[in-house]
Amino acid sequence: MKLDVTTFRQLRRLAPILDDVLNAGEVEHAEQAVGLVSLAQLCSQLFCAYHDQYPGEIAEARLDAIESQ
């Protein structure tokens, strides 16, 4: 699934926030927390869009994840 320009830019803008949190091992301030919420919402929207286009692949990936636990 190809990303539109706006979504791509949003991901690029939010990626450093996740990187900072991973490097620090903690959420250090409120701006990071707010950025993480924005990233989570964007990821959820991307998942829903992908699921709408490829529901069979999502179902298979979920089964694979359950089996690997």
C-alpha 22/C-alpha 25 separation (Å) is 5
pLDDT value of residue 53: 97
Whole-number average pLDDT of the chain: 96
Q: Where are the domains of the chain?
A: 5-67
| Whole-structure pTM value | 0.85
SS3 67: helix
SS3 69: coil
SS3 26: coil
C-alpha 40/C-alpha 67 separation (Å) is 25
Confidence of residue 2 (pLDDT cuts 50, 70, 90): very high
